[in-house]
Amino acid sequence: MESRFTVRFFKRLITFTVLTVLLILTVAVIVLAVKVTALSAQINDASGSDAGGDGTAEPAISVEAEALPYQEKYSTLYVKEPFRQAKPKSKTVYLTFDDGPSAACTPEVLDILKEYNIKATFFLVGKISENKDIVQRIIDEGHTIGIHTYTHSYEYIYQSMDTYLADFEKLWSELYEEFSYRAEIFRFPGGSVNTYNYTLSQQIIAEMYRRGFVYFDWNASAEDAASGHPDSDVIAERILNGVHNADRSIVLMHDSAAMGTTVEALPEIIEQLQAEGYAFDKLDRSVRPITFSYLK
Any idea which residues carry the catalytic annotation? 98, 254
Task: In whole angstroms, give the CA distance from residue 210 to residue 208.
Answer: 5
Residue 29 CA: distances (Å) to CA of 41, 133, 264: 18, 71, 68
Instruction: Give the 3-state secondary structure of residue 29.
Output: helix
Question: Taking CA 88 as the corner, what is the angle to CA 244 and CA 172, rounded to the nearest 5 degrees?
Answer: 100
Which residues touch 214 (CB under 8 Å, ≥6 apart)? 83, 184, 185, 186, 285, 289
Q: At what angle do helices 106-115 and 260-275 cross, to 10 degrees?
A: 20
Cα distance from N-terminal residue to C-terminal residue, the chain: 74
Task: Decide: 182 and 79 in contact? Cβ < 8 Å.
Answer: yes
DSSP character at residue 247: S
Q: Cβ atoms within 10 A of the Cβ of 219, count?
A: 17
Instruction: Give the 3-state secondary structure of residue 222.
Output: coil
Residue 214 CA: distances (Å) to CA of 25, 48, 64, 207: 51, 22, 23, 11
Task: Decide: 131 and 105 in contact? Cβ < 8 Å.
Answer: no
Instruction: Give the 3-state secondary structure of residue 120.
Output: coil
